[in-house]
Amino acid sequence: MRALNVTRGTVVGEQICVADGLLSRMIGLLGKSSLAPGAGLLIRPSQGVHTIGMMFTIDLLFLDRNFRVTELRQSLRPFRMTGLNWRAQSVLELPVNSIELSRTAIGDQLVIEPAVFLPGNAA
């Protein structure tokens, strides 16, 4: 999936995975040594996350039900917890500096596009 910031006309992430089951939301990015540029994890539903057990720093976008940014956190280090954001319905975990590179700000509108697979390419 792709995450686009339609307010700024920028790409937030090109390879966004979704964690929407109990187990996938609990595991999140645990066990990964890094997050590649352009990658990300959309956790839904979620109003807050932690980086306990993680080995790298991430950026976070808190999104409402319409994918509007309600809060952002840059450079959240390992072994930290966010507070709860009651307006958020999901959290997008991104590589560090993604917020700055995409110029994303509170109030920006994101669009999450499904992945498009071309004929002949493995899905």
Kindly state the average pLDDT of the residues 66-77: 98
Q: List CB contacts of 55: < 8 A, sequence separation 6 or more.
A: 32, 33, 34, 78
User: The whole model's pTM is what?
Assistant: 0.90
Q: What pLDDT does residue 120 have?
A: 57
- pLDDT reading at 117 higher than 70: no
Residues facing 110 on adjacent strands: 5
Instruction: State pLDDT tens for residues 80-107.
Output: 999 999 999 999 999 999 999 999 999 9
Spell out the domains of the chain, with CATH numbers in brackets.
2-113 (2.60.120.1140)
Count the Cβ atoms, other than its own, within 10 Å of residue 88: 23
